[in-house]
Structure 1
Amino acid sequence: MKHKLRYIKLPVLLILVAFLFSFAEKRNNARKISEIKVQFVGGENLYVTEEAVNNLLIQNDVAATDIDKETLDLNRVERLLNNHDMIENAEAFLSLDGKLQAKIVQRKPIGRIVGNSTYYLDENGSEMPLSPYYSARVPLLLGVDSGAVEKVYPLVAYIQQDDFLTQHVTAIKRMSGNKFELQMRKLDFKVYFGKAENIALKFNNFKAFYKKAIQDEKLDTYKRVNLQFEDQVVCTKK
């Protein structure tokens, strides 16, 4: 008799555990979202703010604090964030304490196109609108229309990855024949780059010229530095 009771108790216990687990899960899903927490991953410049992200989610009725966890569609939250002009990638998830968390990677501008319309060129070579919250310190791209973006992009991308060039190049001007001229910060000469070809070689030549001119104290004696020839730097004096 005792053995029979033991066998009966085990299924009852399993059913009870399953019931309690189901009840707890349902109760957890019915809990309201207690808070929205936004984390920006990488980079310190905020082209979109935490407040703007919160407002975007609330206005679209996908993350209001009166929505329960079971109703919330995390995929929709991510789609909404990823469609934002300033966001490169977003991941949304719920924490155990009922907080909606979003990890956001912002788009990174590398140049600012100035013309009939003004906008950024991002690190992927795509157009990016200006931000109302922060103005990026990137080279101005002059005379570059939408048809010439692919021509200037390799040059801008290379400059953005080099600390020396980022510090010195303030503008890139497109000339006829898709050739480019660089304007430099605190240097009284312009750099004629030519076509965006053999970029690393040309800039290495320029760095060697710059170092030698610094040593000889002759930087102020030039009005134009020509890099279009691969094997030499041609300088024009004032």
Structure 2
Amino acid sequence: MEEVAFEFVEEQNPYVNELAVNKLLIQNQVGVTNVGKEILVLNTIESALDTHKMIEDSDVYITVYGGLKARIKQRTPIARVNAVVPFYIDTMGETMPLSDNYSAHVPMVSNVSEREVKEIFPLLKKMNEDAFLKKHLVSIYRNSGGEYILGLRVYAFDVNFGKIELLDTKIRNFKAFYQKALKDKSLDRYKKVSLQFSNQVVCTLK
């Protein structure tokens, strides 16, 4: 098989490498040796690449010098689920396996199965897109009542987010509480903070 040059776009972490991609093409018997490049169906190579569980999208083309090049966009994990067989949840809300090449620094999710991924994804998406949440939240636990408990990077208190509903209101309330408590230097005094009720933040002291 003629060598394909790979380019990984968006400066992503290396969840998949060139060796794994080449192996995938060989396993799928994607070769170009006996096929004229002018009639090469590049979609065949793209389809093979897109089957890789770490790849979101690929674009294969012929360079001006006549070589083959593949631009590869990897899938991006935004949470890791601690299960019997651990897995990531990506930016599209789909599950993806862990990588042998790189371990993502993302929030850890516990007591969530694959069937609950769709339920938790709106919260994970908010956490990934919001700089404040991304900085402070490191874990999520789903309790037996279907409520989500958030763990903070620095402070020891848990945040009971409640059900996955009224996300913007709850997040806005939490930010307001956090900033006020930070100003008052009282964040170390709390044992639990509840956002279950849309119009208030309920705090439990140690």
Q: Which amino acid letter does the alignment assign opposite residue 132 of structure 2?
A: F
CA offset digits 1:159-191 (Å, max 9, x no partner): 011111111111110012321000111111000
How many Å separate the matches in 1 of 2:20 and 2:115?
A: 33
Which residue of the partner structure matches residue 79 of structure 1? Answer: 47
Of 124, 131, 134, the residue aligned with 1:156 is 124
CA contact (8 A) 1:62 1:73 kept: no
- Structure 2 residue 193 is the aligned partner of structure 1 residue 232: no
Aligned twin of 2:9:
41
User: Any conservation in 2 of the 1:63–1:100 contact (CA below 8 Å)?
Assistant: no
Q: Does residue 172 of structure 1 match 2:140?
A: yes
Moved more, 211-220 or 56-65: 56-65
Q: Residue 124 of structure 1: CA displacement?
A: 1.3
Question: What is the TM-score normalised by the length of structure 2?
Answer: 0.92
Q: Which amino acid aligns with 2:37?
A: K
Alignment of 1:198-237 (within 5 A): 198-237=166-205
TM superposition shift of 1:64? 6.3
Quote the offset at 1:71 in angstroms: 6.7
Change (3 A) 1:186 1:66: farther
- SS of residue in 2 equivalent to 1:141: strand
Equivalent residue, structure 1, for 2:37: 69
Name which one, 1 or 2, has greater alpha-carbon Rg.
Answer: 1
Write out the 4+ residue segments of structure 1 that deviate beyond 2 Å after TM superposition: 54-73
Distance 2:144 2:28 in 1: 47
1:2-151 aligned within 5 A: 33=2, 35-63=3-31, 68-70=36-38, 72-151=40-119
State the Cα deviation string for residues 136-173 of structure 1 (Å, max 9, x = none): 11111110012211211111111011111111111110
Count of paired positions = 206
Identical amino acids, percent of aligned pairs? 45
Contact 1:42 1:105 in 2 (8 A): yes
The whole-number CA distance in structure 2 between the counterparts of 1:68 and 1:190 is 62
Question: Aligned partners of 1:193, 1:106: CA distance in 2, in Å?
Answer: 31
Q: Which runs of 5+ in 2 are unaligned?
A: none
Q: For structure 1, list consecutive stretches of 5 or more residues without a partner in the other structure.
A: 1-31
Partner amino acid for 1:201?
Answer: T
Deviation of residue 47 (structure 1)?
A: 0.8
Kindly indicate which of the two structures has a greater share of residues assigned to helix: 1
TM-score normalised by the chain length of structure 1: 0.80
Q: Deviations over 1:103-125 (max 9, x none)?
A: 11111111111122200011111
Look up the SS of the partner of 1:37 in the other structure: strand
3-state SS of paired residue (1:197): coil
Task: Show the counterpart of 2:159.
Answer: 191
Distance 1:61 1:150, change over 3 A: closer
In structure 2, give the amino acid aligned to 1:78: E
SS in 2 for 1:91: strand
